[in-house]
Structure 1
Amino acid sequence: MDGGSPMITSLRGRLFAGLTAIILLTGIIGGLFAHRWAFNEAIEMQDSVLIQIAGLVQTGSLAGGRDLHGVDEDAEVWLIDQAATAHDTEYESRLWKLKDGFALATRKGQPIRVLMQTRHDGTRFAVAQRTSMRDEIASDMAFRTVLPIAALIPCLLLVTAIVVARSLQPVVRLAGDLDGRRADDMTPLPTGQMPSELHPFIASINGLLQRMRGLMEQQRSFVADAAHELRTPIAALSLQVENLDPVDLPLRARDRVAALRQGVGRIRHLLDQLLALAREEAGKADAATMPVVKLDDIAKEVVAELLPEATNRGVDLGFAHVDSAMVRGDPMMIAAVVRNLLDNAMRFTPRNGRIDAYVYRGSDAAILQIDDCGPGVAADEIGRIFEPFFRGQRPEGDGSGLGLSIVKRIVDRLGGAIEAVNLAEGGLTGLRVLIRLPAANF
Structure 2
Amino acid sequence: MIKSLRGHLFIGLTAIIVLTGAIGGLLAYNWAFEEADELQDSVLIQLASVAANGTFSTGKLQGVEEDTEVFLIELGTTPRGSLDDRRLFGLKDGLQLAVRNRQPIRALLRTRADGSRFAVAQPTAIRDATARNMAFRTLLPIAALIPCLMIMTALVIAYSLRPLIRLAEDLDARPADDLTALPLSDTPSELHPFIAAMNGLLERMRLLMDQQRRFVADAAHELRTPITALSVQAENLGPVDLPEAARSRLAALKQGMHRTRHLLEQLLALARQEARPAGAELPLVALDHALKNTVADMLPLALDRSIDLGSELVEPVTIRGEPVVIEAMIRNLLDNALRYTPSGGRVDIGVYRSGGAAVLQVEDTGPGLAASDLDRIFEPFFRGSQPQGDGSGLGLSIVKRTVERLGGSIELENIGVASRGGLRVTVHIPHAAVDGGAAKGHPASERRPPRGP
Identify if the C-alpha distance between structure 1 residues 164 and 186 changes in structure 2 by more than 3 Å, giving closer, same or farther: same
Tell me by how many angstroms 1:258 deviates: 2.2
- 1:338: which partner in 2? 330
Q: Is the 8 A contact 2:77 2:117 kept in 1?
A: no
Q: Distance in 2 between matches of 1:150 and 1:379?
A: 61
Aligned to 1:369: 361
Whether contact under 8 Å (1:375, 1:431) holds in the other structure is no
Assess if the C-alpha contact under 8 Å between 2:77 and 2:116 holds in 1.
no
Say whether the 8 Å CA contact 1:417–1:437 is kept in structure 2.
no
Partner of 2:36: 42
Q: Do residues 299 (structure 1) and 326 (structure 2) align?
A: no
Other-structure match for 2:73:
80
- Could you tell me how far 1:145 is from its partner in structure 2? 0.8
- CA drift of 1:87 comes to 5.9
Deviation at 1:429, TM superposition (A): 4.1
**Deviation (angstroms), 1:378:** 5.0
Aligned ranges for residues 79-118 of structure 1 at < 5 Å?
79-83=72-76, 88-118=81-111
1:54 maps to 48
Q: Secondary structure at the match of 2:416?
A: strand
* Match for residue 150 of structure 1 among 143, 150, 153: 143
Gaps of 5+ in 1: none
Aligned to 2:218: 225
Partner of 1:262: 255
Q: How far off its partner does 1:91 sit? A: 1.9
CA distance in 2, matches of 1:35, 1:380: 71
CA contact (8 A) 1:321 1:357 kept: yes
* Normalised TM-score (structure 2): 0.88
Q: Whole-Å Cα distance in 2 between the matches of residues 381 and 159 of structure 1?
A: 52
CA distance in 2, matches of 1:76, 1:231: 111
Distance 2:310 2:54 in 1: 119
Instruction: Kindly indicate whether residue 316 of structure 2 is the aligned counterpart of residue 316 of structure 1.
Output: no
1:171-182 alignment runs, 5 A limit: 171-182=164-175
Question: 1:190 is matched with which residue: 171, 183, 199?
Answer: 183
Q: 1:376 to 1:383 in 2, by over 3 A?
A: same
- Say whether the 8 Å CA contact 2:163–2:187 is kept in structure 1: yes
**Corresponding pairs, count:** 433
Which whole-Å CA distance do the structure 2 matches of 1:404 and 1:176 have between them? 29
Cα distance change of structure 1 residues 262 and 33 upon mapping to structure 2, 3 Å threshold: same
How far did 1:203 drift?
Answer: 0.5
**Higher mean displacement: 375-384 or 248-257:** 375-384
Q: Distance in 1 between matches of 2:379 and 2:310?
A: 27
Bigger shift: 395-404 or 201-210? 395-404
Q: 1:238, CA displacement in angstroms? A: 1.1
- Structure 1 pair 124–187 and aligned structure 2 pair: CA distance change class (3 A): same
Match of 1:440 in 2: 433
Among 192, 197, 215, the residue aligned to 2:208:
215
Aligned-pair CA distance for 1:329: 3.1
8 Å contact from structure 1 (residues 417, 435) kept in 2: yes
Q: CA deviation at 1:170?
A: 1.2
1:194 deviates by: 1.1
> Could you say which residue in structure 2 is the equivalent of 1:20?
14
Partner of 1:407: 399
Closer, same or farther: CA 280–289 of 1 in aligned 2, 3 Å: closer
Report which stretch shifted further, 13-22 or 313-322.
313-322
Equivalent residues of 2:79, 2:85 under 8 A apart: no
Equivalent-residue separation in structure 1 for 2:118 and 2:34 (angstroms): 26
Moved more, 97-106 or 265-274: 97-106
Structure 1 counterpart of 2:320, from 310, 315, 328:
328
Q: 1:429 to 1:79 in 2, by over 3 A?
A: farther
8 Å contact 1:371–1:430 — kept in the other structure?
yes
Task: Provide the C-alpha distance between the structure 2 equivalents of 1:163 and 1:31, rounded to a whole number of angstroms.
Answer: 24
Higher mean displacement: 227-236 or 398-407: 398-407
Identity across aligned pairs (percent)?
A: 59
Which ranges in structure 2 are unaligned for 5 or more consecutive residues?
436-453
Structure 1 residues 154, 376: closer, same or farther in 2, change over 3 A? farther
Q: Which of 7, 11, 14 does residue 5 from structure 2 map onto?
A: 11
TM-score, structure 1 length as denominator?
0.91
Secondary structure, in 3 states, of the residue corresponding to 1:173?
A: helix
CA shift, 1:85, in A, is 10
CA distance in 1, matches of 2:231, 2:215: 24
Partners in 2 of 1:432 and 1:392 — Cα distance? 16
Aligned-residue Cα RMSD (Å) equals 2.4
Cα drift, residue 131 of structure 1: 1.0
Residue 400 of structure 1 aligns to a residue whose secondary structure is: coil
Shift of 1:61: 6.2
Secondary structure, aligned partner of 1:38: helix
Contact 2:287 2:318 in 1 (8 A): yes
* Partner Cα distance (1:205, 1:286) in 2: 21
Q: Which one of the candidate residues 252, 265, 273 is aligned to 1:272?
A: 265
Letter aligned with residue 125 of structure 2: S
1:354 aligns with 2:346: yes
